[in-house]
């Protein structure tokens, strides 16, 4: 591996100085709050992770566990955070925001979104897309959890033709792997058409996973009602599986759902889709209904799953 050049080091440091200054993270109180950047980040992690623990957050953020413990203790004394025993594990405590903590996080989160929106507002749409894609690529390069994925991997918004491609790949993949007939592709086409015809970007979103110029997968989140979202059309190409991409896609969906103030996510699947079901279970989804049906030329067990975000 070649040595890091001074020019490369200076370029990354220059960007870090620019970005931290433009986002206002160097102020004494983050976004006009009384919280430091570290405290606000812990509130964010506690609010958005499926089952946050201080140890896991410290490891992911690369901070000293003792420092993390002091931050959590301070937030607990302020009645913003509490430690909850994890069933079956007497040593671990899950971090949970109190009602006051959730309100404080919501205020910081809204201010952060407004500041970033103000940063993007002067740019035209192509420039925004270029910036977002470039930042996503940088994230994937620097994040060791996705090191095995293509270095150009991004989660991006759909472009013209992408929804049609999703329909095509669903039809081809499910026919090849499970023997499902054309009626499945027709159902996928109807879902994609409805999303394309009318969707609210404030509370509905489609993510396209792309690597090395190829679409690797996709997932859609749509509004079911005022408090519930539905996860739809989640798929991955075979060679993109097993590298953590599916997990990252679900994490992205959950983070967006929380930002959109949903309280619940639901989805429908089938019992024979074992890899997907295991992934949903890891994130805390629970099966709510199941019933034998004949769908797509096969005897299947249809299932509904739900995740409580509140």
Number of Cβ atoms within 10 Å of the Cβ of 253:
21
Residue 210, pLDDT score: 87
Position 287 confidence tier, pLDDT thresholds 50, 70, 90: very high
The residue ranges of every structural domain in the chain are 6-122, 135-308
- Which of the two residues, 141 and 197, has the higher pLDDT score? 197
Average pLDDT over all residues of the chain: 86
DSSP assignment string, the chain: -PPPPHHHHHHHHHHHHHHHHHHTTTSSSGGGSS--HHHHHHHHHHHHSSS-BHHHHHHHHT--HHHHHHHHHHHHHTTSEEEEEETTEEEEEEEEE-HHHHHHHHHHHHHHHHHHHHHHTTS-HHHHHHHHHHHHHHHHHH-GGGTTS-TT-EEE---TTHHHHHHHHHHHHHHHHH---HHHHHHHHHHHHHHHHS--TTT-EEEEEEETTEEEEEEEEEESSSSEEEEEEEEE-GGGTTSSHHHHHHHHHHHHHHHTT-SEEEEEEETT-HHHHHHHHHTT-EEEEEEEEEETTEEEEEEEEEEE--
53's CB contacts (< 8 A; 6+ apart) are: 86, 92, 93, 94, 95
Question: pLDDT tens-digit profile of 60-87?
Answer: 888 898 999 999 999 999 999 988 876 6
Of 126-140, 262-276, 283-297, least confident by mean pLDDT is 126-140
Q: Beta strand 214-223 with 205-211: parallel, antiparallel or unpaired?
A: antiparallel
pLDDT of residue 145: 54
Assess whether the region 6-122 and the region 135-308 belong to the same CATH fold: no
89 pLDDT more than 60 = no
Contact between 240 and 149 under an 8 Å Cβ cutoff? The reply is: yes
Q: Measured in Å, how far apart are the chain's first and last C-alpha atoms?
A: 47
Pick the CATH number of 6-122 from 3.40.50.2000, 3.40.50.2300, 3.80.30.20, 1.10.10.10: 1.10.10.10
User: Average pLDDT in the 249-264 region?
Assistant: 91
Q: How do residues 130-148 score in pLDDT, each as one tens digit?
A: 887 787 677 767 765 554 4
pLDDT of residue 151: 47
Contact present, 246 and 236 (Cβ < 8 Å): yes
Q: What's the rounded Cα separation, in Å, for the pair 227 and 127?
A: 33
Most confident of the following: 18-22, 156-160, 223-227: 223-227
The predicted structure's pLDDT at residue 286: 95
Residue 148 pLDDT: 47
* Cβ(234)–Cβ(228) below 8 Å: no
Is residue 283's pLDDT more than 70?
A: yes
pLDDT of residue 238: 84
Distances (CA, A) of 287 to 183, 230, 280, 300: 25, 14, 9, 16
The mean-pLDDT minimum among 81-90, 102-111, 198-207 falls in 81-90
Whether 240 shows a pLDDT value over 90: the answer reads: no
Residue 214 pairs in a beta bridge with: 211
- pLDDT for residue 292 is more than 80: yes
Stated pTM of the model? 0.55
Q: Residue 31: pLDDT band by 50, 70, 90 thresholds? A: confident
CATH superfamily of 135-308: Gcn5-related N-acetyltransferase (GNAT) (3.40.630.30)
- pLDDT at 269 > cutoff 90: yes
User: Is the confidence at residue 173, as pLDDT, over 60?
Assistant: yes
Instruction: Read off the pLDDT of each residue in 204-213 and give the average, rounded to a whole number.
Output: 86
In the prediction, which pLDDT does 149 show? Answer: 52
CA distance 285 to 249: 15
Instruction: Give me the pLDDT at residue 50, please.
Output: 62
């Amino acid at each position: 591996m070649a040595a890091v050049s001074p020019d490369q080091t200076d370029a990354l440091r220059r960007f870090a100085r620019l970005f931290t200054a433009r986002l206002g993270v160097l102020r004494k109180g983050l976004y006009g709050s009384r919280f430091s950047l570290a405290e606000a980040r812990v509130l964010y992690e506690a609010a958005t992770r499926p089952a946050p623990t201080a140890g896991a957050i410290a490891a992911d953020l690369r901070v000293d566990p003792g420092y993390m413990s002091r931050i959590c203790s301070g937030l607990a004394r302020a009645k913003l955070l509490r430690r909850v025993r994890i069933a079956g594990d007497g040593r671990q405590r899950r971090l949970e925001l109190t009602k006051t903590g959730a309100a404080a996080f919501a205020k910081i989160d809204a201010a952060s979104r407004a500041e970033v929106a103000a940063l993007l507002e002067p740019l035209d749409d192509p420039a925004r897309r270029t910036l977002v894609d470039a930042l996503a690529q940088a994230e994937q390069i620097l994040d060791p959890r996705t090191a095995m994925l293509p270095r150009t991997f991004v989660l991006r918004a759909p472009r013209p033709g992408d929804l049609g491609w999703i329909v095509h790949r669903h039809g081809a993949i499910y026919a090849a792997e499970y023997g499902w007939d054309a009626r499945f592709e027709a159902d996928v086409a109807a879902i994609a058409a409805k999303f394309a015809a009318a969707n609210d970007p404030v509370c509905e979103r489609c993510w396209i996973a792309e690597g090395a110029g190829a679409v690797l997968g996709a997932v859609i989140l749509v509004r079911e009602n005022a408090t519930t979202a539905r996860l739809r059309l989640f798929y991955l190409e075979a060679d993109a599986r097993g590298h953590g991409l599916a997990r990252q896609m679900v994490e992205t969906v959950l983070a967006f759902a929380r930002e959109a103030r949903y309280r619940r996510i639901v989805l429908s699947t089938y019992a024979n889709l074992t890899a997907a079901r295991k992934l949903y279970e890891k994130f805390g989804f629970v099966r709510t209904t199941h019933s034998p049906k004949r769908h797509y030329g096969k005897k299947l067990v249809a299932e509904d799953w739900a995740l409580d975000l509140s």
